Amino acid sequence: MSGPLVEISNLRVDFPSHGEWRPAVRGLSLSLGREKLGIVGESGSGKSVTGRALMGLLPAKARVQADSLRFDGQDLLGLPERRFRKLRGARMGLILQDPKYSLNPVMTAGQQIAEAWATHKRGSRAEARDAAFSLLEQVKIRDPRRVYDAYPHEVSGGMGQRVMIAMMLAPEPDLLIADEPTSALDATVQTEILRLIDELVSARGMGLMLISHDLPLVSRFCDRVMVMYAGQVMEVLPAKDLAHARHAYTRGLLACLPRLDEGQHRLPVLNRDPAWLRPQ
Ligand SMILES: Nc1ncnc2c1ncn2[C@@H]1O[C@H](COP(=O)(O)OP(=O)(O)O)[C@@H](O)[C@H]1O
Ligand SMILES: [Mg+2]
């Protein structure tokens, strides 16, 4: 394959509100290869909408416009839902915050992974079952037999997220979009899950879009970071340079990080300057 995995040029997403269009993403451009890109920005800045536009998962009422929106050279604008569904399952995976809402409560973890595998690969039931065990091992579940037969409510949040990751990896996708994948987990489990995603993405040579409001986490696990504000890209910088970011908004986000030495009572104040936004 040549060329970038994802090419977005001048993406605009609006939602209807009281008879008008309210912008959620305003002229976003981005090119992504088989690399790890972090998307950060405060709540409501358009991170999730950007990921969902790429996966064709926005509600029908949303208006999506772009000069180009491509995945591996394929034009996604106006792609019929049936084709989108195929692409989504086979070549792009989405991991969301809470596996509780993404896993099917009436199927065991193993059945769900086996089904995800069987939908995209051809094979017998026994092969699907073997593939599911192997995937459970790849996501470092120590007791795959027990977890295979467990229902989602019987596993911990971290374990549930591992099961989700196994399901997403079953078709061997090229791109993984992880939208706040660890926000519902304890700090130690967060790190384990991100390390796992990082290892799997690197080993398989996939592209990763890691959406998070946690700047230090993103800078640890990604190659580049895209900073969003009010539906626009403020800056894109190498993850290792994040701590020395120059843009006032990025500096503001960094300054808002809770600091253990300052107690809980100081509310961060983020300065916002209308001059940051490009006219539309
Ligand atoms: N389904 C929806 N209907 C209407 N507005 C939406 C919907 N989803 C997102 N938005 C709006 O789009 C903007 C960006 O949201 P989002 O991408 O979810 O932000 P975040 O950066 O926190 O992920 C917000 O103003 C949000 O209210
Ligand atoms: Mg979001």
**What residue's CA is closest to ligand 1, atom 3?**
15
Q: What is the pLDDT along the chain (280 residues), one digit of tens a residue?
A: 568 999 999 999 999 999 999 999 999 999 999 999 999 999 999 999 999 999 999 999 999 999 999 999 999 998 999 999 989 889 999 998 887 778 999 999 999 999 999 988 888 999 999 999 999 999 999 999 999 999 999 999 999 999 999 999 999 999 999 999 988 888 889 999 999 999 999 999 999 999 998 888 899 999 999 999 999 999 999 999 988 888 988 988 888 765 545 554 455 567 788 888 887 7
Residue ranges of E strands in 99-202: 175-179
Stretch (H or E) spanning 30: strand 20-32
- Matching residue, tokens 């989504």: 88
Ligand nearest to the CA of 60: 1
Tell me the CA–centroid distance for residue 107 and ligand 1, in Å: 31
Burial of 196 (0-12, 13-18, 19+ CB in 10 A): middle
**What residue's CA is closest to ligand 1, atom 19?**
44
Tell me the CA–centroid distance for residue 124 and ligand 2, in Å: 38
DSSP single-letter state for residue 260 = G
Stretch (H or E) spanning 109: helix 109-120
**Residue type at position 197:** I
Q: Are 222 and 38 in contact (CB under 8 A)?
A: yes
Tell me the CA–centroid distance for residue 35 and ligand 1, in Å: 26
Closest CA to 79 of 102, 95, 56, 53: 56
Ligand nearest to the CA of 183: 2
**What residue's CA is closest to ligand 1, atom 2?**
15
Measured distance CA(128)–CA(206) in Å, rounded: 23
Q: Are 168 and 141 in contact (CB under 8 A)?
A: no
The two structure tokens encoding residue 77:
């604008």
Question: Which residues line ligand 1 at a C-beta cut-off of 6 Å?
Answer: 15, 24, 41, 43-49, 59
Residues in Cβ contact with 101 at an 8 Å cutoff, skipping those fewer than 6 apart: none
DSSP single-letter state for residue 267 = -
Instruction: Kindly report the pTM of this predicted structure.
Output: 0.91
Tell me the CA–centroid distance for residue 7 and ligand 1, in Å: 22
The two structure tokens encoding residue 124:
């017998």
